[in-house]
Amino acid sequence: MDNLSELFWSAAVDEIKRGYVYQDHNEQFICLICGKTYTKGLIYNEQGTLMEAERAVRTHAESEHGGMFEYLLNMNKKYTGLTEHQQTLLRYFNLGHTDKEIVKLLGGGSTSTVRNHRFSLREREKQAKVFLAIMGLLDKDGDDSKKLLNIHRGATMIDERYAATESEREKFLKTYFDEKLEKLINFPSKEKRKLVVLQHITGKFESDKKYTEKEVSKILEDIYPDFVTIRRYLIEYGFMERTPDGSAYWVKK
């Protein structure tokens, strides 16, 4: 399966809204949140009901992840640009509350203030549509050497360190890994290169599986002797998460 973050960021807006993509080459529907796959033509049991693949992945996204509205709303503020107050208002809007009801739920304010928020958010929607169109025209040449890397969704800090192109990524991987890109020769000190290396290493883990610390260490030790450092950076940079006691690790979605 494709890298889940790359799959998410390359998806069209309508695909992100519904929570899954369809890949023609393997006839699979893929959940954009966890990467679970459903093969076209097969029947699946979701929530005790037998259903075809597309309906199953749609049901999965809703029942297992609470739907795309909440998932997207809870993404890093760097992606949504929303304040906590705006998130709260959007939840109330999504539930169909009137402006008067929202004022009561907020415990104060006025209906005109809520109405102004509705207007401001609609204006942002218009801006976003125009911006998407501009960026779509900008990328029309399809030159991969100019394309910036996708930022993984679990990123703890989003800044210029992620301003690496696909061509730079290939160069960094050839510099720090062996010919098969399986063994890490040196761990870079520069942030941009470090992120590229960590992103590649994350691909060694299954996106929908939980690992023990021993299993994580074994996978990392096969890649680089100082596996403890790699493991720490995977957590620190938001590529992986773990339980407070370190008993379980998983790829951050």
149 assigned to some structural domain: no
Q: Same domain for 115 and 47?
A: no
Two structure tokens written together for 64 = 């297992």
Tally of CB atoms within 10 A around 2: 13
144 assigned to some structural domain: no
- Per-residue model confidence (pLDDT) at position 146: 57
The per-residue b/e assignment along 85-96, b for 16 or more CB within 10 angstroms, e otherwise, is ebeebbebeeee
Helices (H), the chain: 4-10, 13-18, 53-65, 68-73, 77-80, 84-94, 99-106, 111-138, 166-176, 191-202, 213-221, 227-236
Band of the pLDDT at 6, cuts 50, 70, 90?
A: confident
Helices 213-221, 227-236: crossing angle, 10 deg rounding:
120
Average pLDDT over residues 202-218: 92
155 assigned to some structural domain: no
List, for residues 10-36, the tens digit of each pLDDT value.
899 999 999 999 999 999 999 999 889
Is the pLDDT at 175 greater than 50, yes or no? yes
Q: Which of 42, 70, 98 is the last residue of a domain?
A: 70
What SS3 class is residue 114? helix
Q: Same domain for 46 and 100?
A: no
Global pTM exceeds 0.75:
no
Q: Which of 70, 103, 121 is the last residue of a domain?
A: 70
211 assigned to some structural domain: yes
152 assigned to some structural domain: no
Domain that holds residue 80: 76-138
Instruction: Name the domain count of the chain.
Output: 3
Q: Which of 39, 70, 101 is the last residue of a domain?
A: 70
